[in-house]
Amino acid sequence: MNKYGPKAQEKVEKTMHEYKRGTLKSSTGQKVTSRKQAVAIGLSEAREAGAKVPKKH
């Protein structure tokens, strides 16, 4: 069984495209330069949207 739902995958995919284009910003308004941070932002947005995402540790 998948850990992440399709809605969560779409959110992460969207944020990764923004990260690769250099348009993804963190909450402080600074440009995101870390891949891990980009994925974390995508998962956070998916959680807020109510997508199927495992709990944070």
Instruction: Measure the CA–CA gap between 36 and 14, rounded to whole angstroms.
Output: 14
Instruction: Measure the CA–CA gap between 57 and 7, rounded to whole angstroms.
Output: 21
Q: Is residue 32 part of a domain?
A: yes
Q: Is residue 27 part of a domain?
A: yes
pTM of the full predicted structure?
0.84
Phi, psi of 43 (to 5 degrees): -70, -40
- Per-residue pLDDT, 22: 95
Indicate the average pLDDT of the chain.
92
- Per-residue pLDDT, 55: 82
How much is the average pLDDT of 26-50?
94
Q: Is residue 11 part of a domain?
A: yes
Please tell me the total count of domains within the chain. Answer: 1
- Per-residue pLDDT, 39: 94
Instruction: Measure the CA–CA gap between 29 and 42, rounded to whole angstroms.
Output: 16
pLDDT at 23 over 90: yes
- Per-residue pLDDT, 56: 77
Instruction: Measure the CA–CA gap between 31 and 2, rounded to whole angstroms.
Output: 31
Phi, psi of 25 (to 5 degrees): -115, 150
The range of the structural domain enclosing residue 41 comes to 6-48
